Chain A
Amino acid sequence: MRLICPNCGPRDRREFSWIGAASLLDRPAPGGDFVAWLHLRDNPAGPLEELWLHEAGCGALLRASRDTRTHALAPLTLAGGAR
């Protein structure tokens, strides 16, 4: 599997670490439902919004949309948005 990093271009999967579902970006406000945010998952068989860290590359936290049945993957984007 290859992931297309917005900074580095196509790179081998081994350069990346999977961080979690992209819902992790939607941190609740203080007093919110942190248990659900941390632990509960949609866990879809199909398109999944998720986060990868380009650990052995540029170090950017990236957002991906990947089909969990086929691993079809669009080019990744910066999770924090473009600056």
Chain B
Amino acid sequence: MRYSGLKVLAEGLRGGAGWRPFWRKAAPAAEYDAIVIGGGGHGLATAYYLAREHGLARVAVLEKGWVGSGNVGRNTTIVRATYMMPGNQEFYSTSLKMWESLAQDLNFNLMYSPRGLLMLFHSDGQRDAFARRGNAMLIQGDDAQLLDREALRALVPYLDYDQARFPVQGALLHPRGGTVRHDAVAWAYARAADARGVDIIENCEVTGFDLADGRISGVQTTRGAIRAGRVGMAVAGRSGELAGRAGFRLPVESHVLQAFVTEGLKPFVHHVISFGMGHFYISQSDKGGLVFGGDIDFYPSYAQRGNLPMAEHVMEAAMTLMPAIGRARVLRNWGGIMDMTPDGSPIIDRSPIEGLFLNTGWNYGGFKAIPASGLAFAHLIATGAPHPIAARFRLDRFNTGALIDEEGTGATHHLH
């Protein structure tokens, strides 16, 4: 037992001198069985499942910055399984089930909080669409409940139900949806992977790929060349850039997605709530800050900061739905760079290069996907065959037309 009340007390008396880092500062070896590029949630989870499920002894995670410095710490921490399209359904359902036991699995307090997710509807048509979505979720084996206005009011009395433009008519409740502490997810996977012998190599940027006859034999990095016959890319918004270094293009555009957090308030938002008539969703963190976000800025960006029109839209939506929070001051806002695919669904597949695998296109939904993505990507890297839960996340679906078009807007880059 590494942690106990007694240990906390003892370390408190000796200035914490006995605490040890969660993972080694590994230096790159000359060769690995498999390399995972990207030390975020997806990359670390992949390395962990490569070691745990597939018994790979020599696995490295190459991280350009430090562990958890990317999008795993730049999101709104929401987990849910509210999807309707085959492909997404089984995948996110698996992911949510994994979240439920992940803290025990990794022996790390992830502060998983299944507080319930409320998707509001504001018209008869939207109610019918959510009823259909809820049925799809039930058939998949997840939970969903259609609430009318009065049932919703009993749960969340503080919404502006009667405002003239977008009156709240009810909500689809997904009781098992909720939040997870995002930084802890990165740390927990890093520690668990490290304990299974994975080398986590920080400050190590991949600058090129060693390719011959359409096969990969290793990578060039800022810390020297590293050989490996199997390399997986899990670099979120930087996927396009890295694919360019390997000599191919992806159906991906990188866009910025903004989020905001207010000063700490006493607990009053006890659910995750999404507005149905504008881009706004909100939850309250354990520190008390209201965490909310909106839509992408709708033009490609690597700037990691958002534009003011979208910030204004989010604030307007907040005031429309919840005037009560109008006096809360926004402490921080940030923008994460998302790899957006034309149909809004991810890609876990082989690349055009033998031995190089892709984990990309997470759009708005990367955080909640972490456990299942790691499991499925590790399976693909280890066996060369897709995991059943991710078999539809194919790179060639824009060729074949087998889209996973959750939003119903078609394979259109500028709509996602």
Contact = CB atoms under 8 A, between A and B. Distances in A.
Given A14-B309, A20-B413, A38-B411, A43 B303 contact: no
- Residue from the set A13, A39, A40, A48 with the largest chain B CB neighbour count within 10 Å: A39
A43 B413 contact: no
Interface residues of A, number: 25
B71 to A, nearest CB: 15
Nearest to B414: A20
B413 A68 contact: no
B340 to A, nearest CB: 10
B348 to A, nearest CB: 17
Contacts of A41: 240, 249-253, 413
Contact of B301 (A17, A19, A42, A71): A71
B345 interface: no
A23 to B, nearest CB: 10
B302 interface: yes
A50 to B, nearest CB: 7
A19 B300 contact: no
A41 B413 CA distance: 10
A83 interface: no
Interface string A33-50: 001101111111100101
Nearest to A16: B299
Interface string A42-61: 11110010100000000000
- Residue from the set A38, A39, A43 with the largest chain B CB neighbour count within 10 Å: A43
Interface in B204-248: 238, 240-241, 244
Interface in B347-397: none
B101 interface: no
A43 B342 contact: no
Interface in A3-23: 13-14, 17-21
A68 B303 contact: yes
In the complex, which range does the number of interface residues on chain B fall in? Answer: 20 to 34
A40 B249 contact: yes
B254 interface: yes
Nearest to B341: A39
B399 interface: yes
Nearest to B302: A45
A15 to B, nearest CB: 10
B298 interface: yes
Given A20-B414, A68-B302, A1 B240 contact: no
B19 interface: no
A35 B298 contact: no
B241 A1 contact: no
B307 A68 contact: no
A38 B412 CA distance: 8
B341 to A, nearest CB: 8
A43 B307 contact: no
Nearest to B251: A39
A19 B300 CA distance: 11
Contacts of B399: 35
Given A14-B309, A18-B299, A45-B241, A39 B253 contact: no
Contacts of B309: 13-14
B398 A39 contact: yes
A40 B301 contact: no
Given A14-B309, A38-B398, A68-B303, A43 B252 contact: yes
B251 A13 contact: no
A48 B244 contact: no
Interface of A: 1, 13-14, 17-21, 35-36, 38-45, 48, 50, 66, 68-71
18 contacts: A20-B413, A20-B414, A21-B253, A35-B398, A38-B342, A38-B398, A39-B342, A40-B251, A41-B252, A42-B244, A43-B240, A43-B249, A43-B252, A44-B240, A44-B241, A68-B301, A68-B303, A69-B303
Given A36-B249, A39-B342, A39-B413, 18 more contacts: A17-B414, A20-B413, A20-B414, A21-B253, A35-B399, A38-B411, A40-B250, A41-B249, A41-B253, A41-B413, A43-B241, A43-B249, A43-B253, A43-B300, A44-B244, A48-B300, A69-B303, A71-B303
Pick the 8 closest A-B CB pairs, nearest first: A43-B240, A18-B299, A39-B251, A40-B249, A45-B302, A39-B398, A68-B302, A69-B302
